A and B are shown apart, each in its own frame.
Chain A
Amino acid sequence: MTAATGPAVGAADRCAYALRLGDDALVLAQRLTEWSAHAPTLEEDLALENIALDLLGQARHLLTYAGAAEGQGRDEDRLAYWRDDGEFCNLQLVEQPNGDFAATMVRQWLFSTYQRLLYLALRASADPDLSAIGERGAKEAAYHLDHAANWVRRLGDGTEESHRRTEAALLGLWPFVAEMFSGDAVEARLVAAGVAVDGRALRPAFDAAVDAVLAEATLSRPEAAFTARGGRSGHHTEHLGHLLAEMQHLHRSHPGASW
């Protein structure tokens, strides 16, 4: 089994796969940092920064891994700062604007529910680096999920206003859920080699976890008004370009500089 995962075999696939997971973490971290000094309580400033810091750490490991698998000398910064939006492979969910606190928490809850399941399964990867990333990431994602799900419960079952805002956030973000479980040829080849997680297989556990929280939050699963697709192959909503413009501007203004 491990013979199929040697450096020459599937290197391009492993690079692509790590970029997907790394870009999810990087883009969501970037979004969460926009809350800094703007959260509803000081405790929440601290929590959102903490989640962003975990995600940024995951992104750095995954981008470094991707650069090494690719073997062309691109490090984490080269990958983060010098790719255009069409080369980013994150889910469209994570690039969605923060909106109000309900939208940020619903987005975090949906993503962390998915990411925790993904990382738990990734621990069994035949690739020791990805397995280690899964081991550590699953623990972090469990904390993020706990925090976000608690807020979804509080906001859903809080006041009339918080219920209305959370319901609207859920309706707005639900179309981005299906993309997490879409699967494709890259993933299928790596699943066959025992390296990657079969995303499609995570859906039943995701649905069960989501439904349980929704029930406590006195909310129900909405119908998706449309289905977002294409993030994994570089097709993004208009929001990602603005996020990257802000993130990459200073670095790109000084080509070749060290920081």
Chain B
Amino acid sequence: MKHLIIGAGAAGITAAEQLRKLDPAASITVLDGEGEAAPYARMAIPYLLSNQIVEAGTHLRRDPDHYRTLRIDIEKGRAAAVDPVASLVRLVDGRVLPYDRLLIATGSVPSREKVAGIDLPGVHTCWTLADARAIIASLRPGTRVVQMGAGFVGCIIIQGLMSRGADLTVLIRSGRMVSRMMPPKASDMIAQWCAAKGVHVMGKTQTAKIEQDGNSLKVTLTTGEILPADIYLSVVGVKPGIDFLAGSGIAMQDGIVVDARMRTNLPGIYAAGDVAESCDCVTGKSQINAIQPNAVEQARIAALNMAGGAADFVGSLAINVLDTLGLVSCSFGQWQGVEGGAGVELVDEANYRYLSLQFGDDVLIGATSIGWTDHVGVLRGLIQTSTPLGVWKERLLADPTTFMAAYLATSQKAA
């Protein structure tokens, strides 16, 4: 049995390891499109930027012989197309790799800003190790950085930029930081936090064009304002890396459409991780929840099925944790709440603490927190298991800080 996995991120590597566990004799090949020394975690890049780790610290696995020991072939190369009829993958370099089972785990790629000057030297995005290296190489104390975008990536790299002494301006088109994972009040608090720590935060604006200006850049905003910059960072979100699948016959909407067994519409072809569009266990809708825990769980399920088993993915859950200059925020499930559902929002702006809980009939369906680090995992537990809250719903509405007590009382009666 030949297993081919496109993508050497968390999903691809987890699937490969799982396959090896299930089938000692199979041939397992992982196609790694980046050509780095070893498969690495994008999640670790912010900590490389802030100099807390060296490059090796980003590697997905510690043991340098890990893949050799498991007989997982890490093949350097980029997929150009999938031919499902011939059961093979064509690479950009012209090579062809056959497969019996194929897993597409190519993850996300950064969205490209459509503005003049986006290809100038000095303009970067921050997604790969190569991107991080380039940024680190050109950052000095006092370096003027204009960053377009304040989504998850935009926020989590601020610490790294500031710790290297950047003079940082962050432009936010919507006016709200991490607007896709935080309610407005929480977004505002994160923006205030950044401003208090010396970041120039500019809302409701975006880049119109970027021009070379001697050794520097000149960034013109849609508001007409002009910002001088040494580095322009374009971090305006990510999208599934599925362009190479065009014409393959694999069904795609926002991402690759998969069923509960992580199967695509074509036999023998599976998808997992940030490219996979699967059922959200709270909303019941088909959507992409591009986060690490979902990626590895989907990969595990995909591998079980690729190896001949029959395992169902229980559904993904949108969960996020973000560290913005030391301010820790989390969001879970339907943090926006639902029409007609009860909710509670506790705001302590002076201390940068925030907690919002959103309810369905008798269950928690979503939560957002800022400044809470203890036991936040139970918010996931309560949401994902749809634990009936009983009297605790009213208690949580009165005092959401008792969520851990609510969890213990409703879920751990045995304890």
A and B bind: no
